Amino acid sequence: MKEKGSKSYFNILFFLSPLILNLGYAPISISFVAYFSFIPFFYYLEKLNSKKAFLYGFFYGLIFWIAHLWWLYFLKPQITQTTKLLLYLGIIVLFFYLALYFALFAYLTKITSLFFAPIILPILEFIRTKSEIGFPWGLIGYTQTKNLIFLNWASIFGIYGVSALVILLNLLIYKIIFHSDKKRFLILLIILISSSIGYYSIRVKTLPDFFKVALLQPNVSPEEKGTKEEQIRLLNQLVRMTKIAAKRKPHLIIYPETASLIDITFDSPYKEFLKAVSDTYGCYLLIGTPRYEKDEKGFRYYNACVLFAPQKGIVSEYRKIHLVPFSERIPYYEKIKIFKLIETEDMGNYSPGEEYTVFKTDQTSFSCVICFESIFPDLIREFVKRGAEVIVNITNDGWFGKTFGPYQHYELAIARAVENGVSLVRCANNGISLVCDPFGKIYKKSKLFDEEIVFANVKMPLKNTIYRQFGDWFILFSAIALVFYFIIKTFLGCLFFSKRK
């Protein structure tokens, strides 16, 4: 009877634990809950066979993703009702697709060992970021964006290494609770925590100011950008905010994604105004804008940003490389015929950029990523490797509404600063705009759905980080270790079988 009650208790804990894990993410950000959320998961892995482990892992993942991405149902894209229905069906498919990664995590851990769990999950997270439908949202390491002591391991191992750390903490605590040799695992836990505190203490220091920025957050709803009158009102608002910001003489004024609804490179009174501000106040202006080009195949549309320099006008531009699937671009559009039936008005027909632009001013070099590009570690690393001393992220999170989406989005970007040892400057149309240092500490931040101008001094970059230098080496070594294990296991199995014969 006691065993039956204990089993029922763990059943409840198992299905509650993915919900509890979500408390570690923004906007709640209770980091420590992540250190216990996989303990019921490990408990069942040791008791179930591999098929049931796969099934339990799938349900764990499904509960987690529904709780983590519920806000997707409240997106506000300007699309037809038919497309909206397809979008909702796509979200359901997304939940099941993402749940498969937890199922694989459970299965692979079961057929290897619990001690492989801290490398199996990060490998699967890494795989999830690849392809045209790459979606590196909800990585376990992002539960630590408020815990800078653990987050700073990303400067060595990347965000996937922080995921490994969280799983390792769960494993050690699980072994301390259920294993007979508690002392050994307790010592390992103390070493892990002590080394994390020590590394953070050694790494973090006061950095000098680099240059001054002004971030313009106009707080315009996406629905208010449709008519010509609304577009003119937005331009007038940006003109007013620009004048206020320029008087404080920042080195760089930054506007959010699609702040200009017309291609700003074409001649217009607004373009002349921005050039005049840049010339008069001696500041640089970075503004999000659509870009249109005509070639032999017709018009090409880009989500882009351009830089105005004093006395020079527009000097360089960046075109978004990683487009949002099923929004700016339909993935595998040419290969999957049903996608050609999807009518998304002006959505899904953008072309990807190809150049990793590094903008240069007389004080700094920086790169700008647009919208959810900030969540791709390898993309940001490539910009920094090419000379960017600061990462700027411009975005329009108004589509998310008043949900968890905007909070999750900005916290994901913070890890890029830590990984590469550079400051992050984020300018969002509706919020949240912020500036954080190379250690992940936010020292200027706006509110959500407020019109604001954020002034801040950007901090100097660090000379280098191991992650910046070598990239996802941790994933490579983890994959080699896992493959090596299977080779040895297969070899020993064959050897044992041949001896029995």
DSSP string, 324-355: PBTTTB-TTTTT-GGGGG---TTSSBBPPP--
pLDDT at 443: 93
For residues 263 and 410, state if they share a domain: yes
Examine the domain organization and report whether 218 and 320 are in the same domain.
yes
For residue 1, what pLDDT is reported? 44
Q: Please tell me whether residues 187 and 324 are part of one structural domain.
A: no
The CA distance from 496 to 27, in Å, is 53
Whether 291 and 394 share a structural domain:
yes
- Residue 25 tokens read as 């993410």
Residue given tokens 């954080």 in the structure block = 436
In angstroms, the CA 253 to CA 87 distance is 36
Same domain, 138 and 222: no
Cα separations (Å) of 249 from 30, 213, 322, 391? 39, 9, 33, 21
**Average pLDDT, 10 consecutive residues per value, the chain (501 residues):** 60 91 96 96 92 96 96 72 72 92 97 95 95 87 98 98 98 93 94 97 92 94 69 83 94 92 85 92 94 82 95 96 79 63 61 94 96 95 97 92 92 97 96 95 94 96 95 97 89 61 49
pTM score of the predicted model: 0.92
- My answer on whether 160 and 199 are in the same domain is yes
For residue 420, what is the domain's CATH number?
3.60.110.10
155 and 243 assigned to the same domain: no
Do 187 and 214 reside in the same domain of the chain? no
| Structural domain boundaries, residue 170 | 2-204+471-497
Both 89 and 222 in one domain: the answer is: no
Extract the runs of DSSP E, i.e. beta strands, from 354-450.
359-360, 365-370, 390-395, 423-428, 434-436, 442-445
Rounded to the nearest angstrom, the gap between the alpha carbon of residue 293 and the centroid of all alpha carbons in its chain is: 30
User: What pLDDT is attached to residue 268?
Assistant: 83
Contacts of 53 by beta carbon, 8 Å cutoff, 6+ apart: 44, 45, 106, 107, 109, 110
Tell whether 193 and 215 lie within a shared domain. no
> Are 188 and 246 members of one domain?
no
In this prediction, residue 493 carries a pLDDT of: 64
In angstroms and rounded to an integer, the radius of gyration of the C-alpha atoms of the chain is: 25
Shared-domain flag, residues 26 and 169: yes
Query: Could you count the other beta carbons within 10 Å of the beta carbon of residue 30?
Result: 14
Number of domains into which the chain is organized: 2
**Tokens 């373009």 belong to which residue?**
271
